[in-house]
Chain A
Amino acid sequence: MFIPNTQIKSSINLLDFIQERASIGTWEYDPISKNLNWSNETKKIHELPLDYIPDLQQGISFYKEGYSRNTITQLFTLCIESHIDFDTEVLIVTPKKKDKWVRVIGIAIIENDKCILVQGLFQDIDKKTKNAKELAFKEQQLRKTFETALIGMAIVDLEGNWIDVNNSLCNILGYNKVEIKKLTFMDLTHPEDLRRDHQALMRMIKGELDDYEIEKRYISKNGETVWAQLSVSIVKDNLGQPEHFVAQINNVTQIKKNRKKVSQLLETTKNQNKRLLNFAHIVSHNLRSHYGNLDMLLDIVKIDLPETTNNEIFPLVELAVSHLGETLTNLNEVAAINVQKDLKTEPLNLLNSFQGALSSISALIRESKTTVSIDIDTDLFILGVPAYLDSIILNFLTNAIKYKKATEPAKIEIKTNISNDFVVLEIKDHGQGIDLKKYGDKLFGMYKTFHRHEDSRGLGLFITKNQIEAIGGKVEVSSIVNEGTTFFISLKKYA
Chain B
Amino acid sequence: MRKIDLACIIDDDPIFIFGAKRMMELSGFCNSFIVFKNGEDAINNLKPMMNTRQPLPDIILLDINMPIMDGWQFLDEFIQIDSHKEITIYIASSSIDPIDLKRAERYENVSNYIIKPISLNTLKRILGGSL
Chains A and B bind each other: yes
Residues of A within 8 A of B (CB): 281, 284-285, 288-289, 291-297, 299-300, 303-304, 329, 332, 336
List 5 contacting pairs A-B, 8 Å CB cutoff, sorted by A. Answer: A285-B65, A292-B16, A293-B16, A294-B117, A296-B19
CB-CB under 8 A from B53, the residues of chain A are: none
Contact B96 A300 (CB under 8 A): no
Q: When chains A and B are docked, how far (Å) is the Cα of A289 from the Cα of B115?
A: 10
> Contact partner of B16 among A284, A289, A304, CB < 8 A?
A289
Decide yes or no: A288 and B26 within 8 Å by CB, A293-B117, A297-B19, A299-B119 being known contacts: no
Contact A303 B120 (CB under 8 A): yes
Contact B13 A289 (CB under 8 A): yes
A172, chain B: closest CB distance, angstroms? 54
Contact B117 A285 (CB under 8 A): no
> Contact partner of A303 among B26, B95, B116, CB < 8 A?
B26
Contact with A along B1-44 (1 / 0, CB 8 A): 00000000000010110011011001000000000000000000
**B92 to A, closest residue via Cβ:** A292
Contact A329 B96 (CB under 8 A): yes
Contact B120 A299 (CB under 8 A): yes
Is B129 part of the contact surface with A, judged by Cβ < 8 Å?
no
Q: Which 10 A-B pairs have the closest CB atoms?
A: A292-B116, A292-B117, A289-B94, A288-B94, A296-B19, A296-B117, A295-B117, A293-B15, A292-B94, A285-B95
> Contact partner of A289 among B23, B116, B120, CB < 8 A?
B116
Contact B65 A296 (CB under 8 A): no
Q: When chains A and B are docked, how far (Å) is the Cα of A414 from the Cα of B12?
A: 52
A322, chain B: closest CB distance, angstroms? 11
B27, chain A: closest CB distance, angstroms? 9
Contact B19 A284 (CB under 8 A): no
> Contact partner of B23 among A281, A296, A332, CB < 8 A?
A296
Contact B13 A336 (CB under 8 A): no
A301, chain B: closest CB distance, angstroms? 10
Q: When chains A and B are docked, how far (Å) is the Cα of A212 from the Cα of B16?
A: 71
Q: In the complex, how many residues of chain B place their beta carbon closer than 8 angstroms to a beta carbon of chain A?
A: 20
**A321 to B, closest residue via Cβ:** B117
Is B98 part of the contact surface with A, judged by Cβ < 8 Å?
yes
> Contact partner of B96 among A288, A294, A296, A297, CB < 8 A?
A288
CB-CB under 8 A from B46, the residues of chain A are: none
CB-CB under 8 A from B98, the residues of chain A are: 336
**A281 to B, closest residue via Cβ:** B97
B102, chain A: closest CB distance, angstroms? 12
Decide yes or no: A296 and B119 within 8 Å by CB, A285-B65, A289-B13, A304-B26 being known contacts: yes
CB-CB under 8 A from A291, the residues of chain B are: 94, 117
CB-CB under 8 A from A292, the residues of chain B are: 16, 94, 116-117
B110, chain A: closest CB distance, angstroms? 18
CB-CB under 8 A from A304, the residues of chain B are: 22, 26
CB-CB under 8 A from A281, the residues of chain B are: 97
Contact B97 A300 (CB under 8 A): no
Beta-carbon contacts under 8 Å, B59-92 to A: 65
Beta-carbon contacts under 8 Å, B95-125 to A: 95-98, 116-120
Contact B97 A336 (CB under 8 A): yes
Q: When chains A and B are docked, how far (Å) is the Cα of A158 from the Cα of B118?
A: 84
CB-CB under 8 A from B16, the residues of chain A are: 289, 292-293, 296
A277, chain B: closest CB distance, angstroms? 11
CB-CB under 8 A from B15, the residues of chain A are: 293, 296-297
CB-CB under 8 A from B13, the residues of chain A are: 289, 293
CB-CB under 8 A from B20, the residues of chain A are: 296
Contact B118 A296 (CB under 8 A): yes
Q: When chains A and B are docked, how far (Å) is the Cα of A332 from the Cα of B95?
A: 10
A424, chain B: closest CB distance, angstroms? 29
**B21 to A, closest residue via Cβ:** A300
Of A281, A295, A296, which is in contact with the most chain B CB atoms at under 10 Å from its CB? A296
A279, chain B: closest CB distance, angstroms? 13
Contact B116 A288 (CB under 8 A): yes
A120, chain B: closest CB distance, angstroms? 104
Of B22, B65, B117, B118, which is in contact with the most chain A CB atoms at under 10 Å from its CB? B117
CB-CB under 8 A from A288, the residues of chain B are: 94-96, 116
A291-B117, A303-B120 known; 5 other A-B pairs, CB under 8 Å?
Answer: A285-B65, A285-B94, A289-B116, A299-B119, A329-B96
CB-CB under 8 A from A284, the residues of chain B are: 95-97
Q: When chains A and B are docked, how far (Å) is the Cα of A109 from the Cα of B26?
A: 145
Q: When chains A and B are docked, how far (Å) is the Cα of A357 from the Cα of B88?
A: 34
CB-CB under 8 A from A296, the residues of chain B are: 15-16, 19-20, 23, 116-119
**B19 to A, closest residue via Cβ:** A296
CB-CB under 8 A from A329, the residues of chain B are: 96
**B11 to A, closest residue via Cβ:** A289
**B95 to A, closest residue via Cβ:** A285
CB-CB under 8 A from B26, the residues of chain A are: 300, 303-304
CB-CB under 8 A from B94, the residues of chain A are: 285, 288-289, 291-292
CB-CB under 8 A from B118, the residues of chain A are: 296
Contact B19 A300 (CB under 8 A): yes
A471, chain B: closest CB distance, angstroms? 16
CB-CB under 8 A from B19, the residues of chain A are: 293, 296-297, 299-300
Q: When chains A and B are docked, how far (Å) is the Cα of A353 from the Cα of B13?
A: 42
CB-CB under 8 A from B65, the residues of chain A are: 285
CB-CB under 8 A from B95, the residues of chain A are: 284-285, 288
B93, chain A: closest CB distance, angstroms? 8
Q: When chains A and B are docked, how far (Å) is the Cα of A284 from the Cα of B98?
A: 11
**A336 to B, closest residue via Cβ:** B98
**A325 to B, closest residue via Cβ:** B117
Contact B117 A300 (CB under 8 A): no
Q: When chains A and B are docked, how far (Å) is the Cα of A285 from the Cα of B95?
A: 5
**A332 to B, closest residue via Cβ:** B96
